[in-house]
Amino acid sequence: MVMYRIQNRQGYTLIETLVVLSIVVLLGIFTIQVPKYVREEVETELFVQTIKQQLYLAQQYALISGQEVTCTINQQSVFSTVPHAKPISVPEHIHVNAVNYRFAAFSGHAIQFQNAILKDKHYMYIVHVQFGKGVFWIEKIKI
């Protein structure tokens, strides 16, 4: 009986597999870090959107519930007197002047307010509220 040896070497060896695996692990260890300014810019935009949402929530709650609602923005947090609304902390790189917004019961009109000013390294955001209407918008100004 004659035995033939198969000479087909098309597969990977164990060493080749381990080399590829070690390269993949090394690439996974050295992940690309997002630059700090990009993270801060995105964080600022999200924070500004959160302020708009908090003001809108406070206004709608005053309109629907018939209770006067206060929304406070200070250097530490943004919070309102809406039940179950959680305070939102201000990112460290943003400077905020402390302001209170008060929305009237049943109408949602702003009856006490100042313009809130938020500043980061590149932009200044001003929260404008139209007196008696409860309409608000945020203006973005490049510094």
The string of pLDDT tens digits covering residues 71-123 is 999 999 999 999 998 999 999 999 999 999 898 888 888 887 788 999 999 99
**C-beta of residue 59 within 8 angstroms of C-beta of residue 127:** no
Confidence check: pLDDT of 41 > 70: yes
- What are the domain boundaries of the chain? 42-142
Q: What is the CATH number of domain 42-142?
A: 3.55.40
Q: What is the pLDDT of residue 114?
A: 84
